[in-house]
Amino acid sequence: MLAPLKVLEQLKARLHETIGTLPLGQPGGYVSLILELPHGLGIAPDLAGPQFHFAHNHRGDLRAGYGIAGEWRAWGPDRLRILRAAAKGVAANWQQMDPDETGFLGFGMLGFAASPNASPSAGQEELPNALFWLPELALCSHGGQAALILTTALPMGIDALRTRWQRRLDQIVPLLDLPALDPLTPAHLERGVSTPDQDDWRELVFAALDEIDQERLRKVVLCRRLRLTGQRRFDLTRLNAALTYLFPSCQVVSIRRHRTSFVAATPERLFTQRRDRIEADAIAGTACRAEDADRDAQITQGLRTCEKNLREHQVVVDAVTEALGQCSRSLESPDGPRILQLNNVQHLRSIVRGELHPDVDVFRLAELLHPTPATNGQPRREARDWLDRSEPLERGWYTGAAGIVEPDLTGELWVLLRCARISERIADLYAGAGIVAGSDPLSEWDETEHKLAAMSTALQFA
C-alpha cells in the first residue's frame, strides 16, 4: 500500500497533468475532475467547513462531499420543483473528466426538511428547508475501488484553481489512511427534557386515536425529541464509525453546514433509482429485540403475526405502491413483508420494484413518495395538517430525506430517521411511532425509547 505522502505526490502530479485539459474558459456550467485512489475507503475524514457523509457498511458504499462548488435552496410547496429546475440546468452543463477511467462520476446531494412549510430559519439544524448541493471535493468508494472528485463552477482561472485544488488535496489525502480510531471509554450521558414528556405524549396519542376513530385518519406518526448532554465534546468521526459498526445494515448520514451537525443511522430508503428501475422501501411495524435467542425468536414471530403491526405496515405498502403507480410503466408485486433486524429493534419491511416512465428523476420521485405513511400518516395531506396543528415541536430535517443525485438526475434518497442534532456536548435526539387503531400510548412510548437507544448508545462512545 502506498504511503499517504506518496499518494499525495501522485495525485498532485496527476492534477498538474490534467488540469490543462479542462474547459475552464467555458462561460458557464461545471466541470468535475475524477482522480483514482489506490484502494477503497471505509470512512470519510472530518474536515473543517461544510460537508456531508453517506456510508453503508453492508453494501461497502461511501460518498462524502466537502466545500461548496454550487448550491441551490428552496422552501414551500414547490421546493422540489424549484430544485429540479436548478439541477436540470446543472446537468445540461456539467462535464465529467475521468482521465484514469475509474467509471466514477461527480455527484450532488439533495436533502430537505420534513415539512415544506417550515420557514428556512425555523429549523435549528442550520440547514435550509430544501437544498441541492454540489461539493467542491468529493470521495466515492464502492467494491474496493475509490476516487477523489474535484468540481468547480465555470469559468475559472487555471492558476487559482490549481492552487485551491492542491490545498484541498493537502487537507484530505493525509487523513485517508489514518487507522480507525479506538472507541472511547463509554461516557455517561445526562438525560434532559423530552418534548413531549410522557404525560403530553399520552394525551397526544389519545387525540390521534380520536381522529382515527372518527375516520379522519387511518394512521398518524408522532415524534418526540430528547436532549442528551455529554461529559465531553462529541467527536463526529468516532460517532460515524460507531454507528457504522453498530448498525451495518443502516445508512449512516452526517451533514454539517455551519457549527451544528445533523446525524442519522436510518434503515429506510425512500427509493433507489438506477436509470428506469426503481426500488422503494415500505418499513412499518416495530418490535424490540431480546438478548436471549429463544425470546428474540418469539418476539420476531409475534411481529410477523401481530394484527396491529401488519395493518400499520400495509398502509405504507399501499401508499408506496400508489405513488409509484403514477410514474411507472409497470410494478412488481411487493416483496414482503420480511423481518429487518437491527441491533436494538426489528421491523416489517417490504420492497416495491418497478420500471419508470421516461424522464422521471429523483426530484419527481421524492415529490411523489415523501412523506410516506411510515413517517407522516395516511391520508397524507390530512395527517400532515393535523401534525402541523398538534405536534409540539419543530421536526426540521428529521423524517425529511437526503441522498445522492447523479449527473443524470437519478440516485438514491434515505428517510432521515434515528437522528440527532449535535452541537459540542449537546445532542437532541429524534424518534417516532406510528399510531393506528389499537395503539397503546405506553407501548408507543417504549417503541420510541428503543429507537432513541440507537443513537444514544453510539454517542456514549463518541
Catalytic site residues?
219, 268
Residue 345, C-beta contacts closer than 8 angstroms, at least 6 positions apart: 286, 287, 288, 289, 447, 450, 451, 454
Task: Note whether 422 and 261 are within 8 A (CB).
Answer: yes
Question: What whole-number distance in Å separates Cα of residue 145 and Cα of residue 197?
Answer: 47
H helices within 101-181, ranges in order?
158-172
SS3 44: coil
From the centroid of its chain, how far is CA 377? 20
C-alpha cell of residue 51: 460537508
C-alpha cell of residue 360: 422521471
For residues 41-54, one letter each, b for 16 or more C-beta atoms within 10 angstroms of the residue's C-beta and e for the rest, the string is bebbbbbeebbbbb
Question: What whole-number distance in Å separates Cα of residue 208 and Cα of residue 43?
Answer: 41
Q: Residues 258, 259, 260, 263: is their CA dihedral positive or negative? A: positive
